[in-house]
């Protein structure tokens, strides 16, 4: 069955401030790839090549980064959501703009699934469901929309429950068969307490009106990258799966599974799993430890780094200091003029200057 994709990337990423003051969160790179590209690549790998991207906040930057989609093997169309009125409203806009005119998959642009959606899309197509959702067991259900399951059926969806009703969170991927039916459901909705048209209420309409809503519990991990802690967790999970690849120059030493992109030069030490992006320089007095990523164009002249993310074109020169669980913004400078020892946790946004 021919399907279209809809990737949502209009949000302001307020929980990821200050990193989102200068770009949308969907363009924050993880292992050399903007976050939103994981969703697009997953859709393309599943056979979905007609993809609409709903943009708003810094939408022009997203359009510039993704282009017409040919570099992904896709055809991208852009739909502007001027006010952030929720996922259900974004779906309504895509239908109203006549982009969605057949069965479709909605994929939140800040979600990463380790095992992708290909098998779920196949099940949706074969099942005859009117709507199909993915669920994942979570420790803190109050942060998510959750599904209440009874006798193998979805009976109720609750958005960010204040009391425990289920620990099965609704993953940010939704499948719908009939755009007209989705639009009919949307017309019945009112904004929630958050001022948004909730996708959980859209799907609840399907349930309440006797339409078939099926579900599957995802295997492997799922990350909703909404906070900088989530950003680091997604990084750790992605690095856990990397396969060693060296295209740059290693004059120092790499140990374990390390990706070294073209143009990178390593004169110090890198312990995997780790990612060294294009044109990155790791100096002879620098050590990059496990679960760290240094994105393209950055320079680490001295010091060490573990379980940390350094965004593009940053400069780190910190002598004997060791950064742990840190996120360093792009074009940021962190320098130490004296011999510091011990560990520090640093979270600094783009275009910052820190002198220790």
Are residue 214 and residue 262 in the same domain, yes or no? no
295 and 220 within one domain:
no
Higher-confidence residue of 339 and 245: namely 245
pLDDT at residue 128, as a whole number: 86
Same domain, 162 and 273: no
pLDDT reported for residue 1: 64
Burial classification of residue 8, based on how many CB atoms lie within 10 Å of its CB (0-12 exposed, 13-18 middle, 19 or more buried)? buried
Domain count for the chain, please give it. Answer: 2
Element (H, E) at 4: strand 4-9
Q: At 140, phi and psi to the nearest 5?
A: -125, 80
The pTM score is 0.91
Distance CA 4, CA 56 (A): 20
In a domain, residue 216? The reply is: yes
Does 169 share its domain with 254? no
Q: What is the pLDDT of residues 276-318, one digit of tens each?
A: 999 999 999 999 999 999 999 999 999 999 999 999 999 999 9
The answer as to whether 53 is a domain residue is: yes
CATH number at residue 174: 3.90.550.10
201: CB partners within 8 A, 6+ apart: 88, 157, 159, 189, 192
Bond before 18 cis per omega within 30 degrees:
yes
In a domain, 95, yes or no: yes
Identify the domain containing residue 315 by its residue range.
242-355
More confident residue, 4 or 161: 4
Q: Are both 18 and 94 inside the same structural domain?
A: yes
Position 150 scores a pLDDT of 86
> Is 16's pLDDT higher than 70?
no
**One domain, residues 157 and 279:** no
Query: For the domain that residue 338 is a member of, what is the CATH number?
Result: 2.160.10.10
Do 261 and 247 meet the contact criterion of CB atoms below 8 Å apart? yes
What whole-number percentage of the chain has pLDDT above 70? Answer: 99
Question: Same structural domain for residues 81 and 25?
Answer: yes
Note whether 334 and 189 are same-domain residues. Answer: no
Q: Do 247 and 162 fall within a single domain? A: no
Q: Is residue 233 part of a domain?
A: no
What pLDDT score does 4 carry? 92
Burial of 350 (0-12, 13-18, 19+ CB in 10 A): buried
Distance CA 226, CA 295 (A): 20
């Amino acid at each position: 069955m021919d399907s279209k994709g809809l990737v949502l990337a209009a949000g302001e990423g307020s929980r990821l401030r200050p990193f989102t003051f200068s770009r949308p969160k969907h363009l924050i790179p993880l292992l050399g790839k903007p976050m939103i590209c994981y969703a697009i690549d997953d859709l393309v790998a599943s056979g979905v090549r007609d993809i609409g991207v709903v943009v708003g906040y810094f939408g022009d930057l997203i359009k510039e980064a993704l282009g017409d989609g040919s570099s992904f093997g896709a055809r991208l169309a852009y739909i502007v959501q001027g006010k952030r009125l929720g996922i259900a409203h974004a779906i309504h806009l895509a239908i109203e703009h006549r982009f969605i005119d057949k069965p479709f998959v909605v994929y939140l642009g800040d979600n990463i699934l380790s095992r992708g959606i290909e098998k779920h899309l196949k099940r949706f197509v074969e099942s005859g469901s009117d709507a199909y959702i993915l669920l994942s067991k979570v420790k803190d259900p109050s942060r998510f929309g959750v599904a209440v399951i009874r006798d193998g059926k979805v009976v109720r969806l609750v958005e960010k429950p204040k009391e425990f009703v289920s620990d099965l969170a609704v993953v940010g991927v939704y499948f719908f068969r009939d755009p007209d039916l989705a639009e009919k459901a949307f017309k019945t909705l009112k904004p929630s307490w958050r001022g948004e048209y909730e996708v959980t209420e859209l799907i609840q309409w399907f349930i309440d009106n006797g339409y078939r809503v099926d579900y599957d519990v995802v295997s492997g991990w799922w990350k909703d990258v909404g906070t900088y802690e989530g950003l680091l967790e997604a990084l750790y999970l992605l690095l856990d799966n990397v396969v060693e690849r060296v295209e740059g120059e290693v004059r120092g030493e790499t140990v374990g599974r390390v990706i070294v992109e073209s143009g990178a030069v390593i004169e110090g030490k890198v312990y995997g799993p780790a990612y060294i992006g294009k044109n990155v320089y790791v100096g002879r007095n620098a050590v990059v430890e496990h679960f760290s990523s240094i994105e393209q164009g950055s320079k680490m002249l001295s010091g060490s780094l573990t379980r940390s993310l350094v965004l593009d074109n940053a400069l780190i020169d910190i002598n004997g200091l060791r950064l742990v669980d840190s996120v360093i913004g792009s074009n940021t400078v962190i320098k130490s003029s004296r011999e510091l020892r011990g560990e520090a946790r640093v979270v600094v946004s783009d275009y910052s200057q820190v002198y220790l």
